[in-house]
């Protein structure tokens, strides 16, 4: 197993703790295979996570969003003691799936139907972070020295 030390890369950075946690989690995490799930996108800003949760009721499922980390957990009650199986093909074990969400991705809704839990997500970038067009003006350009002198003379008048 390969391990990576990201400390040298983050030694001269401030405020990138989330990236460091993501890299460490990706390095340590083994791929979850139960329950099966799909991640879909419309190619723009909408996403959907579909999880096959056959045999789970709404009360046995839990969705938690904490610090841009979505956790989907299923806790199956142990009521199979009275059932005698000839074949058991539907796994009814507890699980936990964790998804790291990008900045500004919000959970819109969650729906359980026909044994599939569907979680809809949407990226909602605030207006101040969206690209914007800058108006190009046409007036004489003054050098910085003239501009600074004008600001100093206005400060003297204000005093």
What integer is the mean pLDDT of 12-26? 68
2 pLDDT band, cuts 50/70/90, is low
The answer on 14 and 78 residing in a single domain is: no
CB 98 within 8 A of CB 71: yes
The answer on 39 and 94 residing in a single domain is: yes
Residues in the chain: 159
- With a cut of 90, say whether residue 38 has pLDDT above it: yes
Tokens of 66: 């904490």
DSSP 73-134: EE------TT---S---S----EEEEEEPPTTEEEEEEEEETTEEEEEEEE---GGGS--PP
155 pLDDT band, cuts 50/70/90, is low
At 75-94, the pLDDT tens digits run 987 665 677 888 888 777 89
The answer on 46 and 26 residing in a single domain is: no
The answer on 2 and 47 residing in a single domain is: no
The answer on 57 and 23 residing in a single domain is: no
Of residues 36, 50, 23, 29, the one with CA closest to residue 121? 50
4 pLDDT band, cuts 50/70/90, is low
Number of CB atoms found within 10 A of residue 152's CB: 10
pLDDT of 85 reads 82
Judge whether 63 lies within some domain.
yes
The answer on 85 and 21 residing in a single domain is: no
CB 35 within 8 A of CB 106: no
Most confident of 24-38, 91-105, 141-155: 91-105
The answer on 113 and 89 residing in a single domain is: yes
The CA distance from 51 to 115, in Å, is 8
Alpha-carbon distances, residue 33 vs 50, 67, 127 (angstroms): 14, 24, 38
Judge whether 3 lies within some domain.
yes
- Total domain count, the chain: 2
The answer on 17 and 76 residing in a single domain is: no
CATH number of the domain where residue 85 is located: 2.60.40.790
pLDDT of 15 reads 65
97 pLDDT band, cuts 50/70/90, is very high
The answer on 50 and 38 residing in a single domain is: yes
The answer on 122 and 81 residing in a single domain is: yes
The answer on 41 and 118 residing in a single domain is: yes
Print the domain residue range for 9: 1-30
- pTM summary value: 0.66
- What SS3 class is residue 140? coil
Q: Mean pLDDT of all residues in the chain?
A: 83
The answer on 71 and 20 residing in a single domain is: no
């Amino acid at each position: 197993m390969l391990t990576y030390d990201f400390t040298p890369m983050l030694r001269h950075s401030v405020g990138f703790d989330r990236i460091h946690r993501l890299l460490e989690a990706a390095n340590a995490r083994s791929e979850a295979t139960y329950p099966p799930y799909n991640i879909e996108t419309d190619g723009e800003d909408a996403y959907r996570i579909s999880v096959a949760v056959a045999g789970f009721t709404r009360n046995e499922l839990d969705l938690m969003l904490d610090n841009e980390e979505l956790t989907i957990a299923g806790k199956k009650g142990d009521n199979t003691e009275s059932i005698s199986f000839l074949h058991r093909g539907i796994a009814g074990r507890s699980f936990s799936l964790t998804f790291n969400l990008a900045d500004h991705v919000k959970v819109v809704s969650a729906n359980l139907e026909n044994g599939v839990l569907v979680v809809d997500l949407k990226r909602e970038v605030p207006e101040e972070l969206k690209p914007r067009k800058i108006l190009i003006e046409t007036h004489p350009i003054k050098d910085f020295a003239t501009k600074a002198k004008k600001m100093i003379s206005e400060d003297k008048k204000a005093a």
